[in-house]
Chain A
């Protein structure tokens, strides 16, 4: 595939400048940054133990759940109209009348919108990390940067599929529907998996609800491959050796290595993006 880097960069820059000034995106980014700041400040006050992230297991778990909701929302808001909406309005027809390939437009959009997600994660978690470092006194910059990196990947795991849906669906309205489905996919999928687990497990519901320590069957660990939110949370926990979350102690199995989990995350980005290209190339603008 021939790609002109300058064209890709031009589209990426335009997408970034346009969307960073979008009122709703801006509000979400500010909410995200505020929440991470408050969370890291409060948790940072309490943490004393010294682990990989400078003593902030609570902070990481809190940040994880904030990012788990807000980053997919931002990614979906950024991406749902990028092809369906612009094709409907006519903006895309004008851009594609210029000497640029569809692959370059698509990649430029992905990188530009991804840049906004990276910016959000970097500012939100970056300042959060600073708080932790100050309050715990231990500087774990590399570890925290890796955490931010995984969070950016997580955002892209939603950006890539929503661009794919936007390339596939004909109208802006249906693309919004696609976005809602994507946003709810992980929790719905989790409920199904959990239901199957309850139905097949020896453990009683009460035992599970009380928390404590128990191990999950292998198929359940593999099933997270299809849920972007769980993949992200598991990868972070595995990478930073966080074994307790919300009262559950869950030792992560050895066969799920950090590397393997990151490969899964990357597949969630690469496959939908390739599909998006297939749909976009076939599309009448």
Chain B
């Protein structure tokens, strides 16, 4: 079963439809009462097939190796997270996928099309969001979108709807030169929504956006994926990757150190959140009730604050135990594991 948001061709009202890939349904618009047929995209048929294959990719800048013998595959229909600290080689790898840089070795194919020998065919399927979106200062959002629509051979009538979706409809006739960073980023996101791209490559899509828009970006990634698009995005924020991705590749210092499903990587890394509990009057003494409790580790007490690493499900139990033991439980804070923690585990602490 797939869910997809479509727009009425007559009045452009968005509506959500459900069905199976390839299924054809007759729908009636609730606003203008026009009815028509809709066929669900059949791209899900080859779901799970390799759509991007990178093998032995190497790229050197002068004397630094940015990407070192990296191989991975992305499967049709998945959300693939590309994780690594700043400067790990994420952007370089994504740029190589688009044929923007000349590699020193390795091959990249997009649905069987080599990006360097058959670039036009390969890029027809791709939509890209650069890390720092830069556009043309003297064009308006509408003119910018028209330019991109023409490059992709898409109908420009979808522009007002897309601009509304990213919240730029009020400024569609203003020059982009006067926009804030966040607004430019949103316009960058708008251009990937043109047509129905089958593969989206997003380089740190939520960087530079305020939290409200970070949420919107995540929803857009989900929507694109629900509509059948394969999404690859890079991030240095673990929680972002965790909430979205099916599979993850982790890159550090130009080398791929892991490529697997999210669960597998999590089980290998075993990074659990840390709990910080303030117990007034504790004064550095370890509560007896917590001693020998299974499922917790790294128990430490500093003043009135207990810090402990455990599964989130144990949180309630720990609090109950403390309260039963006669302690007053004050502030409770959960510290999500950082990517650095994951790296330290994965590379054994030596590589960082």
Cα-based distance from A90 to B187 in the complex (angstroms): 14
Q: Which residues of A contact B191 (CB under 8 A)?
A: 94
Cβ-based interface call for B11 (8 A): no
Cα-based distance from A246 to B188 in the complex (angstroms): 55
Residue of B nearest to A19 (CB): B138
Q: Which residues of B (138-192) have their CB < 8 Å from a CB of A?
A: 138-139, 143, 147-148, 150-152, 175, 188, 191
B139–A17 CB distance below 8 A: yes
Q: Given B95, B101, B123, B132, which contacts A99 in the complex, CB threshold below 8 Å?
A: B123
Residue of A nearest to B96 (CB): A284
Q: Given B123, B131, B134, B137, which contacts A97 in the complex, CB threshold below 8 Å?
A: B123
B119–A97 CB distance below 8 A: no
Q: Given A10, A18, A19, which contacts B151 in the complex, CB threshold below 8 Å?
A: A10
Cα-based distance from A215 to B128 in the complex (angstroms): 62
Cβ-based interface call for B345 (8 A): no
Q: Given B101, B130, B150, which contacts A94 in the complex, CB threshold below 8 Å?
A: B130
Cβ-based interface call for A91 (8 A): yes
Residue of A nearest to B150 (CB): A10
Cβ-based interface call for B283 (8 A): no
Q: Which residues of B contact A86 (CB under 8 A)?
A: 134
Cβ-based interface call for B214 (8 A): no
- Residue-wise interface mask of A (6-21) relative to B, using a CB-CB cutoff of 8 A (1 in contact, 0 not): 1100100110011101
B138–A7 CB distance below 8 A: no
Cβ-based interface call for A28 (8 A): no
Cβ-based interface call for A171 (8 A): no
Residue of A nearest to B131 (CB): A90
- Residue-wise interface mask of B (107-148) relative to A, using a CB-CB cutoff of 8 A (1 in contact, 0 not): 000000000000111011011101111111111000100011
B143–A17 CB distance below 8 A: yes
B139–A96 CB distance below 8 A: no
Cβ-based interface call for B100 (8 A): yes
Q: Which residues of A contact B126 (CB under 8 A)?
A: 97
Q: Which residues of A contact B135 (CB under 8 A)?
A: 91, 94
- Residue-wise interface mask of B (247-261) relative to A, using a CB-CB cutoff of 8 A (1 in contact, 0 not): 000000000000000
Cβ-based interface call for A271 (8 A): no
* Min CB gap A270→B, angstroms: 25
Q: Given B100, B130, B131, which contacts A284 in the complex, CB threshold below 8 Å?
A: B100
The 9 closest A-B pairs by CB, nearest first: A97-B128, A89-B134, A21-B138, A90-B134, A284-B101, A91-B134, A98-B151, A10-B150, A285-B100
Q: List 19 A-B contacts (CB under 8 A).
A: A6-B150, A14-B139, A14-B147, A18-B138, A21-B139, A86-B134, A90-B132, A94-B130, A94-B134, A95-B151, A96-B98, A96-B99, A96-B100, A97-B123, A99-B151, A99-B152, A284-B95, A284-B100, A285-B101
